[in-house]
Homo-oligomer: A and B are copies of this chain.
Amino acid sequence: MTDVNEINNLLPWLLRRDNVARYDDGVVWIGDRRKYPFTREFVRCADVEEVARAIETMVTQGGGPWVAACLAMAMAARQAKDKRPHEMRDALEAARRRLISTRPTNTALARRLEDLMQVALQALAQEASVEQAILDWLNDLRDRAYLDYAVRANFGAALMADGDGILTMCFAETAFILSLAFAQREGKRLHVYTPETRPYLQGARLTAPSVHELGIPVTLVTDNMPAYLMSQGKIHKYFTAADLITLDGHVVNKIGTFQNAITAHYHGIPYFVFMWGVDRKSPDRDSIVIEELDASEIRRCLGVPTTIDDIPAYYPAFDITPPHLVAGVITRKGVLSPYDLANQL
Interface residues of A (CB under 8 A from B): 37-38, 169, 195-199, 201, 204-205, 208-209, 212, 217-229, 231, 255-256, 258-259, 262-263, 266, 298-299, 301-308, 310-316, 319-320
Contacts and interface: CB of A to CB of B under 8 A. Distances in A.
A228 B298 contact: no
Across chains A and B, which 10 residue pairs bring their CB atoms closest together, nearest first? A224-B256, A227-B259, A301-B301, A198-B222, A228-B319, A223-B224, A204-B306, A204-B307, A220-B313, A223-B223
Contacts of A320: 228, 231
Contacts of A199: 222
A308 B35 CA distance: 11
A143 B258 CA distance: 44
A299 B137 CA distance: 41
A266 B255 contact: no
Q: How many copies does the complex hold?
A: 2
Given A37-B308, A262-B263, A314 B204 contact: no
Contacts of A225: 255-256, 314, 316, 319
A195 B218 contact: no
Given A223-B256, A227-B262, A263-B263, 4 more contacts: A197-B224, A204-B299, A225-B316, A259-B259
Nearest to A258: B227
B308 A222 contact: no
A180 to B, nearest CB: 15
Nearest to A37: B308
B316 A208 contact: no
Contact of A209 (B218, B256, B307, B319): B307
A37 B197 CA distance: 24
A263 to B, nearest CB: 5
A225 B223 CA distance: 9
Contact of A307 (B220, B226, B227, B229): B220
A258 to B, nearest CB: 5
Contacts of A195: 224
A223 B222 contact: yes
A308 B198 contact: no
